[in-house]
Amino acid sequence: MRRINEILDEVPEITNQIANPYKGPIRGKIAVNGLTYCYPQKEDPALRDITFTIEPGQTVAIVGGVGSGKSTLLQTIPRLVETERGMIHIDGIPLHDIDLTNVRGSIGFVTQETHVFSDTIRNNIVFGRQGISEDSIEMALVASQLAGEIDSFPQGIHSLVGEKGITLSGGQRQRLTIARALISNPPILILDDALSQVDTGTEAAILNSVLEIRRGKTNIIVSHRLSTIRRTDIIFVLKAGRLVELGDHATLFAARREYTRLYERQQLREELEGGR
């Protein structure tokens, strides 16, 4: 009981910083200016002087090698980590002036680490939300390339998935969390390597569906398969915590810089793996 009380009494490290934070609707414009972040006990910053703007309704991809700062950058937007240097604005409002619950409730954040509960597939997708139509659930299942597989389950969408989704494959668990995010239809959707356990064709099909379904919404995608993010409006290229390039696929590929190097290296790797 003492341990439970200790947990309940624990004060969150990240809280609202002003008395009356903004609690209104969020459209999805994100402006980052001079953002630098260094993890505690680390000497080298994970992010260095990052500046960019994402307009409402744009779909953006963030690419870079391991340790380039992609996930750290994404975590700053819903204030999962606190930054001390630089500014983030959402819809022109300083991030710290927006109610924390409002910020996080307006962002769908899906990572490669899945969170699946010992319940039915349907309840894992709906996740306690009321008033979700069966058509919306079907849309999310089709978009996440799960509909056909679930139809083959003995109890379909009402099948139990077991503790932590043990009856599902890794790729199915990832697609289930994608379906959950699509159901909530947030103003901002972040996919942080959220399809790492599905094949290239399935990932491309899911991302194409996301682009269609979420027209007019802001989407930020990190994928280790660069071939699947070619349709995005803008691609941000990170290297050692710095934003070194940005533009669409054709522009960046023609520039023959970091993006081209990453893209060609991945193409070669896929060709070698395909030849095995």
Which CATH number applies to 26-106+189-199+218-276: 3.30.460.10, 1.20.1050.10, 3.30.43.10, 3.40.50.300?
A: 3.40.50.300
Tokens of 185: 């239809």
Contact between 26 and 90 (Cβ < 8 Å): yes
- Least confident range from 10-19, 31-40, 111-120: namely 10-19
> Can you say how many angstroms the Cα of residue 247 is from the centroid of all Cα atoms in its chain?
20
pLDDT surpassing 80 at residue 3: no
Query: Of the candidates 188, 192, 14, which has an alpha carbon nearest to the alpha carbon of residue 101?
Result: 14
The C-alpha angle 150, 181, 105, rounded to 5 degrees, equals 150
Domain segments of the chain: what residues? Answer: 26-106+189-199+218-276, 112-185
Identical fold at 26-106+189-199+218-276 and 112-185? yes
The backbone torsions φ and ψ at residue 49, rounded to the nearest 5 degrees and listed phi first, read 50, 55
At 172-222, the pLDDT tens digits run 999 999 999 999 999 999 999 999 889 989 999 999 999 899 999 999 999
For 129-143, what is the mean pLDDT? Answer: 91
CA 79 centroid distance within chain: 14
pLDDT at 138: 94
- Would you state the pLDDT for residue 9? 47
Q: Which residues pair with 29 in a beta bridge?
A: none
Q: Indicate whether 19 pLDDT > 60.
A: yes
What is the average pLDDT score of the chain? 90
Which of the following CATH numbers is that of domain 112-185: 3.40.50.300, 3.30.1010.10, 3.40.50.620, 3.40.109.10?
A: 3.40.50.300
pLDDT band at 152 (very low <50, low <70, confident <90, very high): confident
Which strands, in side-by-side order, build the sheet including 93-94?
47-54, 30-37, 85-90, 93-94
Find out whether 226 and 262 touch, Cβ atoms under 8 Å.
yes
- 153 pLDDT tier (thresholds 50, 70, 90): confident
Q: What's the mean pLDDT in 106-116? A: 91
Q: How far is CA 259 from CA 93, 162, 208, in A?
A: 32, 41, 21
